[in-house]
Amino acid sequence: MIAVLKPSATDEQKNHLISWLKSQSLDVHVSQGENYTVLGLIGDTGIIDVDLLESLEMVESVKRVSEPFKQVNRKFHPEDTVVEIGGKVKIGGGNFVLIAGPCSVESRGQVAQIAREVSAAGADVLRGGAFKPRTSPYDFQGLKADGIELLLEAKKETGMPIISEIMNANHLPLFDDVDIIQIGARNMQNFELLKEVGKTDKPILLKRGLANTLKELLMSAEYIMSEGNRNVILCERGIRTFETATRNTLDLSAVPMLREMTHLPVVIDPSHATGIARLVEPMAMAAAASGADGIMVEVHNDPIHALCDGAQSLTPSQFEKVASKVRLIREVALQ
Ligand code: PEP
Ligand code: MN
């Protein structure tokens, strides 16, 4: 349920109402807009008399939120959420972020070189997988803790915040200095993992599952937020359809749809969505035009010899071109 308070409501009135609602065993989420204050009520709201609440002088309107996702709901928090990354980068609410780097961290030299080059090309955040969720157990599984160390070295050298995927909550201590924790598509509904990252205050990039609806994606984000972590970023990375020409099918309509459904920032990953390096540029541009808050692209200094996802990886110079085109498109799209 949400209660919208009038601009004339005083702080004293607001606090009084909030403590009464809390005394009814409800969780109250306050979203302060420029004029109106929105109170999001979570719990057994059946006990609240809507007419009574609406009759209070300070209350503008009361609505039941029928969707099962509450805290991620745009109705609960009408303004865009802005997530701060590593104290220097922001995403959401008009702040656009380019994330780039290898699918997997392979060696010190590899990640250091890619980090320098994507940074020079205008990337804001460095990506790199250390724990890799591979379809085959015989494929390269990532450098694990050593991979995180190498990413941290690259962060130190370039000053770029870093993002890496977690697969097991026991690994959380390794991610202390990682700026964004990625939950991969395959773990989108690993609810225990979602709850554990929800107990941290780190930005979490939650990727949409291979065959999950937007509602399911939002319910997974709700798991993270319900534990107290409000720094959630959503990522559309292609879904599985009957089409086999591309690795997945990029559901770009997810961007404007999610914009209506939620206040959380939305990132597009055209690399995993298409699986083909030459399709990354057009889809990255389309993503920028659709209003995405960020784009995440796989970049490798030697794609042919990459240990993972070389076919969809751009070289640093290809990325530089994509980055400048994406920024141009964004300027046009914002007009
Ligand atoms: C990745 O980002 O490297 C990755 C494994 O992505 P996804 O979970 O979307 O497949
Ligand atoms: Mn990959």
pLDDT digits (tens, 9 = 90+) for 65-100: 989 999 999 999 999 999 999 998 999 999 999 999
Give the pair of three-digit tokens for residue 274: 């298409």
Answer for the pair 126, 163: CB distance below 8 angstroms, yes or no: yes
Atom of ligand 1 nearest to the CA of 182: 2
Max Cα distance, the chain (Å): 68
- Pocket probe for ligand 1: among 269, 280, 295, 307, the residue whose CB has the most ligand atoms within 8 Å is 269
What is the spatial distance between Cα 329 and Cα 316, in angstroms, rounded to a whole number? 20
- The residue ranges of the chain whose pLDDT is under 70 are none
CA of 122 to the centre of ligand 1 (A): 22
Range(s) of the chain covered by CATH 3.20.20.70: 83-333
Atom of ligand 1 nearest to the CA of 269: 9
pTM over 0.75, yes/no: yes
pLDDT digits (tens, 9 = 90+) for 48-58: 999 999 999 99
Indicate the CATH number for domain 83-333.
Answer: 3.20.20.70
Any ligand 1 atom below 6 A from CB of 155: no
Instruction: Name residue, tokens 């220097």.
Output: 88
CA distances from 255 to 79, 220, 250, 266 (A): 16, 17, 11, 7
Which residues face 295 on adjacent strands? 98, 268
Any ligand 1 atom below 6 A from CB of 207: yes
Helices marked H in 121-144 = none
CA-nearest residue for atom 9, ligand 1, is 185
Range(s) of the chain covered by CATH 3.30.70.1140: 2-63
Any ligand 1 atom below 6 A from CB of 272: yes
- CATH architecture for segment(s) 2-63: 2-Layer Sandwich (3.30)
Question: Residue 269: which H helix or E strand, with range?
Answer: none
Position 335 scores a pLDDT of 79
Q: In terms of DSSP bridges, do strands 89-91 and 294-298 run parallel, antiparallel, or are they unpaired?
A: unpaired
CA of 215 to the centre of ligand 1 (A): 20
Any ligand 1 atom below 6 A from CB of 139: no
Helices marked H in the chain = 11-23, 50-55, 108-120, 145-158, 191-198, 214-226, 254-261, 270-274, 277-290, 316-334
Answer for the pair 135, 333: CB distance below 8 angstroms, yes or no: no
